[in-house]
């Protein structure tokens, strides 16, 4: 038995509307289930990993609101086979999706559920990231549907996490002491000098350790990385001694230059340019979608997903698509 991806989708906030994390995550979840031809009632667990929300909302659990928005088990007593879905938030910044994959693997392996839906959506507290030049992330969401497969080959490998002992050079927080009457529409994202180098160090070490421990041939692997900076993919490839085409970091869908090729510095939208910034928690799902839509390069038969962020922390997992 192995854990596989059944479907994945992304959702971008409409330019003419105020962004809402629950709506974006819910829309991505519904489209993901439609693509997989799976009834919402067939989802046993929903894990939401988004961090930034409109109005800085933190309670109740956003996962429960996304479950309702997606129409998952709204009346479990009326279902032909009664059973309640379970939803919760798992917050670890850019690493959240991969941490959720690890939790999903445990739930699926024990037979607790047949399917796990992971959602990730981040929006600016004010509802429009493009209006805040100091905010680095995009208003967007994504969903990933995982399920058990009877095949032993393919699917996810083990998830490994890493953490640096250095003080984190990046963080996002609300200044409660000086928030005033407009605090619910503000957020502070601090990126000190050297934060990109710090994340590059951690990402390259994590990938190298994973490849060694899992006997992974990086030259037969497409590395799918989170994108804390526009040129992160190219710089990570250089650190690992790989061709730049071997590392992919996703752009924001719909942003100018969003069809950037793997490994290139890319032309992702920067804060305040209309695209609203770079992907955050949804980045691993967007990277997977890009890889699937464009196809794996010749001689490559697996993906290696790596995410790095504040903490500083990292997570890494391999994925081999199963043969049809």
pLDDT of 170 strictly over 80: no
- Superfamily per CATH, domain 2-152: Thiolase/Chalcone synthase (3.40.47.10)
pLDDT of 99 strictly over 50: yes
- Name the burial class of residue 186, with classes exposed (0-12), middle (13-18) and buried (19+) by CB atoms within 10 angstroms of its CB: middle
pLDDT of 59 strictly over 90: no
pTM over 0.85: yes
pLDDT band at residue 176 using 50, 70 and 90 as cut-offs:
low
Degrees to nearest 5, angle at CA 302 with 301 and 308: 155
- Superfamily per CATH, domain 160-320: Thiolase/Chalcone synthase (3.40.47.10)
Mark residue 63 as left, alpha or beta (left: phi above 0; alpha: psi -120 to 50; beta: remaining).
alpha
Whole-angstrom Cα distance, residue 83 to residue 64? 16
Q: Do domains 2-152 and 160-320 have the same CATH topology?
A: yes
Cα distances (Å, whole numbers) of residue 70 to 66, 74, 118, 119, 303: 6, 9, 12, 11, 29
Output the average pLDDT for the chain. Answer: 85
pLDDT of 51 strictly over 80: yes
pLDDT of 276 strictly over 60: no
> Over the stretch 257-266, which tens digit does the pLDDT of each residue have?
444 444 543 3
pLDDT band at residue 221 using 50, 70 and 90 as cut-offs:
very high
Whole-angstrom Cα distance, residue 245 to residue 34? 32
pLDDT band at residue 270 using 50, 70 and 90 as cut-offs:
very low
**Contact, 244 vs 233, CB < 8 A?**
yes
DSSP string covering 55-92, please? GG--SS-HHHHHHHHHT-STTTTTSSS----EEEE---
Domain boundaries along the sequence of the chain: 2-152, 160-320
Whole-angstrom Cα distance, residue 139 to residue 24? 9
pLDDT value of residue 269: 33
> Over the stretch 121-152, which tens digit does the pLDDT of each residue have?
998 878 788 888 888 888 999 999 999 988 77
**Of 96-100, 173-177, 202-206, which gets the smallest average pLDDT?**
173-177
Among 190, 274, 279, smallest CA distance to 230 is for: 279
Q: Write phi, then psi, for 5 (nearest 5 degrees).
A: -90, 120
- Name the burial class of residue 37, with classes exposed (0-12), middle (13-18) and buried (19+) by CB atoms within 10 angstroms of its CB: exposed
**Contact, 109 vs 99, CB < 8 A?**
no
pLDDT value of residue 177: 65
Among 286, 273, 262, 228, smallest CA distance to 12 is for: 286
Averaged pLDDT for residues 271-291: 78
């Amino acid at each position: 038995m192995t854990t596989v991806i059944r479907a994945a989708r992304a959702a971008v906030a409409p330019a003419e509307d105020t962004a809402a994390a629950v709506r974006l995550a819910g829309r991505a979840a519904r489209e993901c289930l439609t693509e997989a031809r799976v009834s919402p009632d067939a989802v046993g667990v929903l894990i939401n990993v988004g961090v930034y929300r409109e109005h800085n909302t933190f309670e109740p659990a956003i996962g429960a609101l996304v479950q309702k928005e997606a129409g998952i088990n709204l009346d479990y007593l009326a279902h032909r086979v009664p059973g309640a879905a379970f939803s919760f938030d798992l917050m670890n910044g850019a690493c959240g999706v991969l941490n959720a994959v690890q939790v999903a693997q445990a739930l699926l392996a024990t037979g607790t559920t047949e399917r796990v839906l992971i959602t990730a959506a981040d929006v600016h507290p004010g509802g429009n990231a493009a209006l805040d030049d100091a905010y680095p992330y995009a208003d967007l969401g994504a969903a990933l549907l995982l399920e058990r497969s009877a095949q032993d080959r393919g699917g996810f490998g083990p998830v490994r996490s890493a953490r640096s002992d250095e003080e984190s050079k990046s963080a996002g927080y609300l200044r409660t002491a000086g928030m005033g009457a407009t605090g619910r529409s503000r957020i502070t994202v601090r990126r000190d000098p050297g934060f990109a180098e710090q994340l590059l160090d951690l990402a390259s070490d994590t990938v190298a350790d994973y490849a060694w421990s899992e006997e992974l041939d990086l030259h037969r692997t497409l590395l799918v990385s989170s994108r804390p900076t526009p040129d992160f993919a190219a710089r990570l490839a250089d650190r690992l001694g790989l061709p730049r085409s071997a590392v992919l970091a996703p752009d924001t869908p719909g942003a100018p230059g969003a069809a950037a090729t793997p490994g290139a510095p890319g032309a992702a939208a920067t804060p305040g340019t209309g695209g609203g910034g770079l992907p955050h928690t949804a980045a691993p799902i967007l990277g997977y979608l890009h890889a699937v839509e464009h196809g794996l390069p010749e001689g490559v038969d697996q993906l290696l997903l790596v995410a790095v962020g504040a903490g500083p922390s990292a997570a890494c997992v391999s994925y081999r698509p199963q043969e049809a």
